[in-house]
């Protein structure tokens, strides 16, 4: 599995557009998203096992609700599963929680990106609940992996992004607006 410090793999996938355009608004609901898309921005790339399941829409909707927060941090979010763009579109059309999702849903049908990252579940052959925070240079700065039956916390992903963007030492449970740790002050206090 790729991890912190590795380069996020190059990819080019078809996606359902985020927002109203992804529901058949002006133009086609599909677009191509690649590792070159949104150059110069931070990226949060999160994977889920399958569309039309139970835990997945709770996570996807939670990322969608925080999309403006991520955008305020010069960060784009991409959601990915091994379902096709047509399945993604159909799911959005029939699930109230993700109908207006502002995040593109990428189709890793050939499992090339999931395989390159090393996140396919050995038994089920679908992506684990993996989250990658990638800096503007394409370097993986954070990886979070959950099993198939436990959802992740997108608010924690946002907190970790905030900490990474400070370029400071951030303690456990640090939140945006707090000071980072000052090693010299810590040694003086000891």
Out of 56, 77, 82, 170, the active site residue is 56
C-alpha 184/C-alpha 190 separation (Å) is 10
State the pLDDT at residue 185. 73
Q: Read off the pLDDT of residues 120-147 as tens digits, 9 standing for 90 and up.
A: 999 999 999 999 999 999 999 999 999 9
State the pLDDT at residue 168. 93
State the pLDDT at residue 152. 97
Residue 79's pLDDT band (boundaries 50, 70, 90)? very high
Distances (CA, A) of 127 to 1, 81, 83: 12, 7, 10
Fold of the domain built from segment(s) 12-189: Glutaredoxin (3.40.30)
Q: Computed over its alpha carbons, how large is the radius of gyration of the chain?
A: 17
State the pLDDT at residue 26. 65
DSSP 143-174: EEEE-TT----HHHHHHHHHHHHHTSB--TT-
Question: What is the DSSP code (8-state) at residue 74?
Answer: T
Active-site annotation holds for 56: yes
State the pLDDT at residue 28. 81
State the pLDDT at residue 25. 65
Which whole number is the average pLDDT over 142-171?
96
Q: Is the pLDDT of residue 188 over 90?
A: no
Q: Which of 26-40, 72-86, 143-157 has the lowest mean pLDDT?
A: 26-40
Instruction: At 76, give phi and psi (nearest 5°).
Output: -110, 145
State the pLDDT at residue 104. 97
State the pLDDT at residue 105. 98
Distances (CA, A) of 84 to 9, 24, 38, 152, 187: 20, 16, 22, 23, 54
Q: Read off the pLDDT of residues 86-117 as tens digits, 9 standing for 90 and up.
A: 999 999 999 999 999 999 999 999 999 999 99
Per the prediction, the chain carries an average pLDDT of: 94
Q: Which of 21-35, 53-67, 162-176 has the lowest mean pLDDT?
A: 21-35
Residue 118's pLDDT band (boundaries 50, 70, 90)? very high
State the pLDDT at residue 186. 63
Could you tell me which of 132, 105, 103 has the C-alpha nearest to residue 117? 132
Domain ranges, ordered by start, for the chain:
12-189
Strand spans (E) along the chain = 12-16, 30-34, 42-47, 75-81, 105-107, 129-134, 140-146
Q: Is the pLDDT of residue 153 over 80?
A: yes
Tokens 């010069």 -> residue: 74
């Amino acid at each position: 599995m790729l991890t912190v410090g590795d380069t996020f793999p190059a990819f080019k996938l078809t996606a359902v557009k985020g927002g109203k355009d992804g529901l058949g608004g002006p133009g086609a609901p599909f677009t191509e998203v690649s590792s070159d898309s949104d150059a110069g921005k931070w990226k949060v790339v999160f994977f889920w096992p399958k569309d039309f399941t139970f835990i997945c829409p709770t996570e996807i909707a939670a990322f969608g609700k925080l999309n403006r927060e991520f955008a305020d941090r010069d960060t784009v979010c991409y959601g990915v599963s091994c379902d096709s763009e047509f399945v993604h579109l159909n799911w959005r059309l029939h699930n109230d929680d993700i109908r207006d999702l502002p995040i593109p849903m990428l189709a890793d049908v050939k499992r090339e990106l999931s395989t390159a990252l090393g996140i396919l579940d050995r038994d089920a052959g679908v992506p684990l609940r993996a989250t990658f925070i990638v800096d503007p240079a394409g370097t993986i700065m954070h990886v979070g992996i959950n099993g198939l039956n436990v959802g992740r916390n997108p608010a924690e992903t946002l907190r970790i992004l905030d900490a990474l963007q400070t370029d400071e030492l951030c303690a456990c449970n640090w939140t945006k607006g707090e000071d980072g740790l000052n090693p010299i002050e810590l040694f003086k206090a000891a």
